[in-house]
Amino acid sequence: MTIAKQLAQSYEVILVDLRNHGESPHSDQWNYPVMAQDIYQLAQKLDYNHSNLIGHSMGGKIGMTLAGSYSGFLDKLVVADIAPRAYPIRHRKFIDGLLSINLHQIESRKDAEIALSVYVQEAGIRQFLLKNLTRESEGGFKWKLNLEVINNHLENVGEATYPSSKIDTPTLFIRGINSDYVTDDDILEIRSYYSNSKVETIGNAGHWLHAEQPEAFVKTVMDFLE
């Protein structure tokens, strides 16, 4: 939201809850092609025939899929700290931690955090993950996200998103200097697929570069979009 408010000073900004997340519908299908289609159909419904898209990590993979599947739809694409290649699943412990929380036994959000702390030591990440926990109107708790489907299809998050042909959409790849998600070898591969691309590196930032260095992130994005 912090990033969006700054971008909204110059652009109309739509923040999207992907399927199986937030307030969006749940579905048994959860992969990059269907999520890219969701974004495209939403844009069509809103009558946005030309748009810029910014995506971090999984969102960046969706952006790459969208650019490859709907040629000419995106004016510009910003991909934050992810490359087209396949990745090992790195967040299994987060899903395991959320699954370990017995929603029928906890009486407070604090109870949930205590249970999650066995799997996730970082307090900030626990708080971030527990934003998915909400109270039922009749009492008790439920997950906003479709935890079962995400758990069953988590390997889809790591899939490669190589385009079938070269992408000429103006594309900015941003990486954090302390992150290993986008290596120098990845940059060579990115340039072979994205003919009109540039890569920027943000200092003193890891994978969560937009949260760690929000001012530098916004400036880098705005310089590219303008």
Question: Is 26 among the residues known to form the active site?
Answer: no
166/119 Cα distance (integer angstroms): 41
C-alpha dihedral over 218, 13, 166, 49, to 10 degrees? -150
Active-site residue, selected from the candidate residues 51, 57, 179, 197: 57
Nearest in space to 32 (alpha carbons), one of 64, 56, 63, 62: 62
- Known catalytic residue: 207? yes
Cα 224 from chain centre: 20
Instruction: Name the 3-class secondary structure at 55.
Output: strand
Query: Which residue is catalytic, options 10, 50, 100, 148?
Result: 148
Q: Which two tokens stand for residue 113?
A: 């955090």
Task: Check if the beta carbon of residue 221 is closer than 8 Å to that of residue 172.
Answer: yes
The single residue of 51, 56, 197, 207 carrying the catalytic annotation is 207
The span from the CA of 129 to the CA of 104, in Å, is: 19
Q: Is 57 a catalytic residue?
A: yes
Contact (Cβ atoms closer than 8 angstroms) between residue 217 and residue 210 = yes
Cite the active site residues: 57, 148, 207
